[in-house]
């Protein structure tokens, strides 16, 4: 199979849109989340979207399939919170590894079925490969910031605990058959560094062939800083040692606010760049109103300017957004990797 590196040299690749938005459309009940296996579980499970990969795999597979049909080259596993740390909210720490394997398989199955089924009119790209990115979320606990305003030195979790949680997640994702590891929605660079450390350690320990790593941060305020206070350039400098396949931005402020940051990133990144914004800013109800043609309009301009190599959508985006984005970028050349000068020292 053609490698993702080969595809990235040829064209702008499209990553899928929001999983959560699509799950909401199914209006699932507590009983749906529990399925047969967890019907007597002592705490509420509704809202634990990652669990659906075990209890309702056909729904997750169906969502992946919709994104593939819309034109996504890369689909993300339903594993944003599949770590022992995040699953503690539901008392489900013991199934963290299993969640990752199950979600990777849902994505893998969706691609296998998609590529072997007869082409639909929406499927413009024939049998070009599709890739599964194992989604590694930021965690609900941060290493750089104290959750207790009266005790700034306090941390809810240690670096070693975060590494162990990510290590288990990576092993589940790789065992489930992902092609790429995607550390995403990074608001705390130290958490991301723990994820990178866990990934490198996993491949060193297992001697498994290293998978490409995509890294995507999120900017949470208009001044262009991450929540842990770094500028974009500082963030890039902090993670470039990982030699990622791509670095980029996702989520947060939407495409309009993201533009200047993507432009800046395109000038400093020695690797490929990615951008998958939310469908605008959420309204008072927490819903996203930006229409597919609007989101695609912003991203088309980034493609025309040569800022991007991988584009797609985050919160609030749907298969319709992804279809518009895929159509908007298909005739533009991908951003060329800059020639990085070697310092004479």
Q: Answer whether 275's CB lies under 8 Å from 261's CB.
A: no
Q: What is the 3-state secondary structure (H, E, C) of 131-184?
A: EEEEEECCCCCCCCCCCCCCCCCCCCCCHHHHHHHHHHHHHHHHHHCCCEEEEE
Q: Which is nearer to Zn ion, 195 or 258 (CB)?
A: 258
Q: Cβ of residue 251: shortest distance to Zn ion, in angstroms?
A: 3
Q: Cβ of residue 278: shortest distance to Zn ion, in angstroms?
A: 5
Q: How many CB atoms are located within 10 Å of the residue 43 CB?
A: 10
Q: Which is nearer to Zn ion, 142 or 278 (CB)?
A: 278
Report the distance separating Cα 292 and Cα 290, nearest Å: 7
Q: Which is nearer to Zn ion, 99 or 315 (CB)?
A: 315
φ, ψ at 214 (rounded to 5°): -105, 140
Q: Which is nearer to Zn ion, 142 or 171 (CB)?
A: 142
Q: Which is nearer to Zn ion, 95 or 251 (CB)?
A: 251
Q: Cβ of residue 108: shortest distance to Zn ion, in angstroms?
A: 23
φ, ψ at 135 (rounded to 5°): -80, 125
User: The dihedral of CA 76, 78, 83, 88: what is its sign?
Assistant: positive
Q: Which is nearer to Zn ion, 16 or 168 (CB)?
A: 16
Report the distance separating Cα 167 and Cα 188, nearest Å: 18
Token pair of 259, please?
């533009």
Q: Which is nearer to Zn ion, 60 or 315 (CB)?
A: 315
Which residues lie below 8 Å from residue 73, measured CB to CB, with a gap of 6+? 7, 13, 14, 15, 125, 128, 129, 130, 131
Q: Cβ of residue 127: shortest distance to Zn ion, in angstroms?
A: 30
Q: Cβ of residue 83: shortest distance to Zn ion, in angstroms?
A: 18
Report the distance separating Cα 226 and Cα 231, nearest Å: 7
Helix (H) or strand (E) holding 99: helix 96-116
Q: Cβ of residue 61: shortest distance to Zn ion, in angstroms?
A: 22
Q: What is the 3-state secondary structure (H, E, C) of 327-339?
A: HHHCCCCCCCCCC
Helix axes 189-206, 232-239, angle to 10 degrees: 20
Q: Cβ of residue 151: shortest distance to Zn ion, in angstroms?
A: 30
Q: Which is nearer to Zn ion, 312 or 334 (CB)?
A: 312
Q: Cβ of residue 31: shortest distance to Zn ion, in angstroms?
A: 28
Contact set with Zn ion (CB under 5 A): 251, 278, 314-315
Of 192, 200, 138, nearest in space to 167 by CA: 200
């Amino acid at each position: 199979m053609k490698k993702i590196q080969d595809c990235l040299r040829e064209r702008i690749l499209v990553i899928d849109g929001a999983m959560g938005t699509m799950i909401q459309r199914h209006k699932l009940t507590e009983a749906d989340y529990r399925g047969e296996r967890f019907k007597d579980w002592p705490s509420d499970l509704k809202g634990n979207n990652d669990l659906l990969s075990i209890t309702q795999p056909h729904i997750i597979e169906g969502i992946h399939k919709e994104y593939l049909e819309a034109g996504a080259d890369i689909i993300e596993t339903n594993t944003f919170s599949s770590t022992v740390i995040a699953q503690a909210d539901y008392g489900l720490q013991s199934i963290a590894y299993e969640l990752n394997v199950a979600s990777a398989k849902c994505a893998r199955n969706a691609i296998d079925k998609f590529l072997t089924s007869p082409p639909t009119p929406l499927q413009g790209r024939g049998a070009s490969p599709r890739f599964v990115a194992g989604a590694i979320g930021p965690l609900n606990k941060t290493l750089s910031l104290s959750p207790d305003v009266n005790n700034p030195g306090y941390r809810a979790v240690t670096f070693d605990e975060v590494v162990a949680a990510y290590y288990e997640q990576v092993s589940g994702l790789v065992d489930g058959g992902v092609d790429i590891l995607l550390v995403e929605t990074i608001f705390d660079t130290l958490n991301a560094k723990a994820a990178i450390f866990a990934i490198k350690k996993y491949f060193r320990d297992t001697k498994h062939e290293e998978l490409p790593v995509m890294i995507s941060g999120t900017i949470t305020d208009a001044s262009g800083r991450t929540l842990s206070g770094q500028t974009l350039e500082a963030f890039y400098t902090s993670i470039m040692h990982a030699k990622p396949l791509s670095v980029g931005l996702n989520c947060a402020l939407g495409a309009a606010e993201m533009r200047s940051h993507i432009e800046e990133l395109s000038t400093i990144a020695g690797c490929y760049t990615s951008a998958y914004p939310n469908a605008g800013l959420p309204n008072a109800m927490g819903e996203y109103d930006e229409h597919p043609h609007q989101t695609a309009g912003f991203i088309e301009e980034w493609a025309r300017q040569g800022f991007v190599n991988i584009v797609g959508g985050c919160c609030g985006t749907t298969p319709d957004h992804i279809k518009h984005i895929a159509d908007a970028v298909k005739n533009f050349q991908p951003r060329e990797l800059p020639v990085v000068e070697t310092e004479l020292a």
